[in-house]
Amino acid sequence: MKVKINLLLLVGICSLSSCTSDSVSDLIEPDNQTAVTYTSRVKNIMDTYCIDCHGANQAAGDLALHTFANVRTAAANGSLLDRISRPGGSSGAMPAGGPRLSQNDINAIANWISANYPE
């Protein structure tokens, strides 16, 4: 009986310890009632997280993300969503050396891509 209780306790502790999140913002449900456009949401995300390294004057990796056309191209070829979706600290994860985008921001960009890049 004591072994069963200890086993259940161990399973419970392991289950609870595996429930984590990288940030509180990942736990917030996205607002799906507002259509995501480049000007309403995506541009702000790019300006906040990407422009310092991928702006007009400094395009790290030959990737500039300061215009709608450039962001759309990066999104269309899959590199934008791939890089921002990688776990923080992994190879190629963006933003490099910075905090990972919140899941809400990643979802907003994914929704923008799914909606065919509305400006």
The model's pLDDT over 6-50, given as tens digits with 9 standing for 90+, comes to 656 655 565 555 555 555 445 445 555 578 999 999 999 999 999
What is the sign, positive or negative, of the torsion defined by CA atoms of 36, 37, 38, 43? Answer: negative
C-alpha triplet 97, 87, 69: angle, nearest 5°? 70
114: tokens are 């799914």
Per-residue tokens: 73: 């191209």
Residue 42: how many other CB atoms lie within 10 Å = 26
CA–CA separation, 67 vs 6, rounded Å? 59
Provide the pLDDT confidence category of residue 61 given band limits of 50, 70 and 90. Answer: confident
Mean pLDDT of 71-85: 96
Percent of the chain surpassing pLDDT 90: 60
